[in-house]
Amino acid sequence: MASQAATVDAGATGTGVSRREFLYYIWGASIALVTLQGAGLLLWFLIPRFREGEFGGTFTIDIAELPEVNASPINFPDGRFWLVNLDSTQPNELMYQAQDESNPIQGVAAIYKVCTHLGCIYSWTPANNRFECPCHGSKYRLDGRRVESPAPRSLDRFLLQAIADDESTVLAEATLDGDFYQPLPLPEGTAFLRVDTGSRKDGPSLPLLCDFQGNCP
Protein backbone atom coordinates (compact mmCIF):
# COMPACT_ATOMS: atom_id res chain seq x y z
CA MET A 1 0.00 0.00 0.00
CA ALA A 2 2.79 2.40 0.87
CA SER A 3 4.37 1.70 -2.50
CA GLN A 4 1.13 2.47 -4.32
CA ALA A 5 0.66 5.73 -2.38
CA ALA A 6 4.16 6.77 -3.26
CA THR A 7 3.45 6.08 -6.91
CA VAL A 8 0.27 8.16 -6.84
CA ASP A 9 2.03 11.01 -5.06
CA ALA A 10 4.83 10.97 -7.59
CA GLY A 11 2.30 11.16 -10.47
CA ALA A 12 0.44 14.01 -8.80
CA THR A 13 3.50 16.15 -8.28
CA GLY A 14 5.24 15.42 -11.57
CA THR A 15 5.90 18.22 -14.04
CA GLY A 16 5.05 16.25 -17.18
CA VAL A 17 2.13 17.17 -19.53
CA SER A 18 -0.84 14.84 -19.39
CA ARG A 19 -2.41 13.46 -22.53
CA ARG A 20 -5.48 15.66 -22.02
CA GLU A 21 -3.36 18.81 -21.62
CA PHE A 22 -1.36 17.90 -24.71
CA LEU A 23 -4.56 17.57 -26.75
CA TYR A 24 -5.75 20.95 -25.44
CA TYR A 25 -2.49 22.56 -26.56
CA ILE A 26 -2.75 21.00 -30.00
CA TRP A 27 -6.37 22.10 -30.32
CA GLY A 28 -5.53 25.67 -29.26
CA ALA A 29 -2.61 25.90 -31.66
CA SER A 30 -4.80 24.61 -34.52
CA ILE A 31 -7.48 27.23 -33.84
CA ALA A 32 -4.86 29.99 -33.74
CA LEU A 33 -3.35 28.82 -37.02
CA VAL A 34 -6.74 28.69 -38.76
CA THR A 35 -7.55 32.19 -37.45
CA LEU A 36 -4.25 33.60 -38.75
CA GLN A 37 -4.76 31.94 -42.13
CA GLY A 38 -8.27 33.38 -42.36
CA ALA A 39 -7.05 36.87 -41.51
CA GLY A 40 -4.28 36.58 -44.07
CA LEU A 41 -6.69 35.48 -46.78
CA LEU A 42 -9.04 38.35 -45.92
CA LEU A 43 -6.24 40.90 -46.24
CA TRP A 44 -5.11 39.32 -49.51
CA PHE A 45 -8.66 39.64 -50.83
CA LEU A 46 -9.18 43.25 -49.68
CA ILE A 47 -5.87 44.73 -50.83
CA PRO A 48 -6.03 45.69 -54.56
CA ARG A 49 -3.70 43.59 -56.70
CA PHE A 50 -2.48 44.13 -60.24
CA ARG A 51 -0.78 41.90 -62.73
CA GLU A 52 2.88 42.54 -63.45
CA GLY A 53 3.38 45.66 -65.54
CA GLU A 54 -0.15 46.99 -65.06
CA PHE A 55 0.40 49.53 -62.30
CA GLY A 56 3.29 51.93 -62.02
CA GLY A 57 3.67 52.13 -65.82
CA THR A 58 1.99 53.85 -68.76
CA PHE A 59 -1.39 53.22 -70.38
CA THR A 60 -2.28 54.28 -73.91
CA ILE A 61 -6.00 54.86 -74.41
CA ASP A 62 -7.90 55.50 -77.63
CA ILE A 63 -9.54 58.93 -77.66
CA ALA A 64 -12.85 57.18 -78.39
CA GLU A 65 -12.85 55.89 -74.80
CA LEU A 66 -12.85 59.42 -73.38
CA PRO A 67 -16.13 60.40 -71.67
CA GLU A 68 -18.21 63.30 -72.94
CA VAL A 69 -17.68 66.74 -71.44
CA ASN A 70 -18.91 66.83 -67.81
CA ALA A 71 -20.27 63.29 -68.13
CA SER A 72 -19.71 60.46 -65.66
CA PRO A 73 -16.06 59.35 -65.43
CA ILE A 74 -14.68 56.25 -67.12
CA ASN A 75 -13.11 53.66 -64.85
CA PHE A 76 -9.77 52.06 -65.79
CA PRO A 77 -9.30 49.46 -63.02
CA ASP A 78 -6.12 47.98 -64.49
CA GLY A 79 -4.35 51.30 -64.00
CA ARG A 80 -6.25 52.30 -60.88
CA PHE A 81 -7.52 55.59 -62.30
CA TRP A 82 -10.56 57.41 -63.65
CA LEU A 83 -10.61 59.54 -66.80
CA VAL A 84 -12.68 62.74 -66.60
CA ASN A 85 -13.46 65.34 -69.25
CA LEU A 86 -14.06 68.72 -67.62
CA ASP A 87 -15.42 72.12 -68.60
CA SER A 88 -16.68 74.40 -65.84
CA THR A 89 -17.91 76.92 -68.46
CA GLN A 90 -20.63 74.36 -69.26
CA PRO A 91 -21.72 73.63 -65.68
CA ASN A 92 -24.07 70.84 -64.67
CA GLU A 93 -24.70 68.81 -61.50
CA LEU A 94 -21.47 66.87 -62.00
CA MET A 95 -19.07 69.74 -62.72
CA TYR A 96 -19.40 73.40 -61.76
CA GLN A 97 -17.15 76.27 -60.75
CA ALA A 98 -16.81 77.14 -57.05
CA GLN A 99 -16.68 80.67 -55.66
CA ASP A 100 -12.94 80.53 -55.04
CA GLU A 101 -12.09 79.23 -58.53
CA SER A 102 -11.28 82.26 -60.66
CA ASN A 103 -10.22 80.39 -63.81
CA PRO A 104 -12.27 77.91 -65.84
CA ILE A 105 -11.52 74.24 -65.29
CA GLN A 106 -11.19 72.70 -68.74
CA GLY A 107 -9.54 69.58 -70.08
CA VAL A 108 -8.97 65.91 -69.36
CA ALA A 109 -7.54 64.51 -66.15
CA ALA A 110 -6.52 61.07 -64.86
CA ILE A 111 -7.55 60.73 -61.22
CA TYR A 112 -6.00 58.23 -58.81
CA LYS A 113 -8.60 55.75 -57.61
CA VAL A 114 -7.65 55.86 -53.92
CA CYS A 115 -9.24 58.04 -51.22
CA THR A 116 -6.83 60.55 -49.69
CA HIS A 117 -8.10 59.82 -46.18
CA LEU A 118 -7.01 56.25 -45.37
CA GLY A 119 -6.45 54.72 -48.80
CA CYS A 120 -9.81 53.06 -49.43
CA ILE A 121 -11.02 52.45 -52.99
CA TYR A 122 -13.83 54.93 -53.62
CA SER A 123 -16.40 54.78 -56.42
CA TRP A 124 -18.51 57.05 -58.59
CA THR A 125 -22.09 57.39 -57.29
CA PRO A 126 -24.41 58.34 -60.18
CA ALA A 127 -27.36 59.05 -57.86
CA ASN A 128 -25.38 61.85 -56.18
CA ASN A 129 -23.17 62.83 -59.16
CA ARG A 130 -19.90 62.57 -57.23
CA PHE A 131 -17.16 60.26 -56.04
CA GLU A 132 -17.91 58.74 -52.62
CA CYS A 133 -15.72 56.68 -50.31
CA PRO A 134 -17.56 53.83 -48.54
CA CYS A 135 -15.09 53.66 -45.64
CA HIS A 136 -15.54 57.03 -43.91
CA GLY A 137 -17.81 59.09 -46.15
CA SER A 138 -15.38 61.39 -47.97
CA LYS A 139 -16.93 62.90 -51.10
CA TYR A 140 -15.41 64.54 -54.18
CA ARG A 141 -16.56 66.49 -57.23
CA LEU A 142 -16.08 65.10 -60.75
CA ASP A 143 -12.62 66.69 -60.98
CA GLY A 144 -11.60 65.20 -57.61
CA ARG A 145 -11.95 68.31 -55.45
CA ARG A 146 -13.21 67.61 -51.91
CA VAL A 147 -16.91 68.07 -51.28
CA GLU A 148 -16.96 66.64 -47.75
CA SER A 149 -14.33 65.50 -45.25
CA PRO A 150 -12.69 63.59 -43.56
CA ALA A 151 -10.42 63.49 -46.62
CA PRO A 152 -7.51 65.89 -45.95
CA ARG A 153 -7.09 66.91 -49.58
CA SER A 154 -8.49 66.52 -53.08
CA LEU A 155 -7.87 63.36 -55.10
CA ASP A 156 -4.41 62.79 -56.57
CA ARG A 157 -3.75 62.88 -60.33
CA PHE A 158 -1.46 61.13 -62.78
CA LEU A 159 0.55 62.65 -65.60
CA LEU A 160 -1.51 62.78 -68.81
CA GLN A 161 -0.26 63.27 -72.38
CA ALA A 162 -2.05 63.85 -75.70
CA ILE A 163 -0.62 61.51 -78.36
CA ALA A 164 -0.84 61.65 -82.15
CA ASP A 165 -2.15 58.81 -84.30
CA ASP A 166 1.34 57.32 -84.62
CA GLU A 167 1.03 56.45 -80.89
CA SER A 168 4.41 58.02 -80.16
CA THR A 169 4.38 61.77 -80.89
CA VAL A 170 3.48 63.79 -77.79
CA LEU A 171 1.28 66.73 -78.79
CA ALA A 172 0.74 68.14 -75.30
CA GLU A 173 1.30 67.26 -71.66
CA ALA A 174 -0.52 68.19 -68.45
CA THR A 175 1.08 71.19 -66.78
CA LEU A 176 1.69 71.76 -63.09
CA ASP A 177 0.06 74.43 -60.96
CA GLY A 178 2.35 74.41 -57.96
CA ASP A 179 2.85 70.68 -57.62
CA PHE A 180 -0.46 69.42 -59.02
CA TYR A 181 -1.34 68.30 -62.56
CA GLN A 182 -3.94 70.49 -64.23
CA PRO A 183 -6.59 69.21 -66.68
CA LEU A 184 -5.15 68.91 -70.19
CA PRO A 185 -7.01 70.63 -73.05
CA LEU A 186 -6.59 68.26 -75.99
CA PRO A 187 -5.00 69.78 -79.11
CA GLU A 188 -6.25 69.06 -82.61
CA GLY A 189 -4.96 65.75 -83.91
CA THR A 190 -5.09 63.95 -80.55
CA ALA A 191 -5.76 60.27 -81.23
CA PHE A 192 -4.65 58.68 -77.97
CA LEU A 193 -4.19 59.55 -74.32
CA ARG A 194 -1.20 58.30 -72.36
CA VAL A 195 -1.47 58.02 -68.57
CA ASP A 196 1.73 57.60 -66.60
CA THR A 197 0.75 56.00 -63.29
CA GLY A 198 4.36 56.17 -62.18
CA SER A 199 4.07 59.97 -62.00
CA ARG A 200 1.48 60.95 -59.38
CA LYS A 201 0.90 64.30 -57.69
CA ASP A 202 -0.95 64.79 -54.41
CA GLY A 203 -4.18 66.74 -54.54
CA PRO A 204 -4.24 70.18 -52.87
CA SER A 205 -5.98 70.93 -49.56
CA LEU A 206 -8.64 73.32 -50.85
CA PRO A 207 -11.70 74.41 -48.83
CA LEU A 208 -14.58 71.94 -48.79
CA LEU A 209 -17.15 72.62 -51.50
CA CYS A 210 -19.95 71.95 -49.02
CA ASP A 211 -18.72 75.01 -47.05
CA PHE A 212 -19.74 77.27 -49.93
CA GLN A 213 -23.18 75.69 -50.05
CA GLY A 214 -23.60 75.71 -46.29
CA ASN A 215 -24.53 72.03 -46.15
CA CYS A 216 -21.51 70.34 -44.58
CA PRO A 217 -22.54 67.66 -42.04
How many domains would you assign to the chain? 2
Task: Give residue 154's pLDDT.
Answer: 97
How big is the CA angle at 154 (ends 148 and 157), to the nearest 5 degrees?
Answer: 145
For residues 27-51, average pLDDT: 58
Task: Give residue 38's pLDDT.
Answer: 57
Contacts of 76 (CB under 8 A, 6+ apart): 59, 61, 82, 83, 195
Has residue 203 got a pLDDT over 50?
Answer: yes
What percent of the chain stands above pLDDT 70?
Answer: 79
| Position 6 in a domain | no
Q: Verify that 92 and 66 share a domain, yes or no.
A: yes
Range of the domain at 34: 18-47
CATH of the domain at 188: 2.102.10.10
Q: Verify that 38 and 134 share a domain, yes or no.
A: no
Task: Give residue 8's pLDDT.
Answer: 43
**66-106 residue pLDDT tens:** 999 999 999 999 999 999 999 999 999 999 999 999 999 99
Cα gap 145→91, rounded to integer Å: 15
| Position 9 in a domain | no
Mean pLDDT of the chain: 86
Out of 7-16, 114-123, 142-151, 172-181, which region has the weakest mean confidence (pLDDT)?
7-16
Residue 93 CB coordination number (10 Å): 10
Q: Verify that 35 and 70 share a domain, yes or no.
A: no
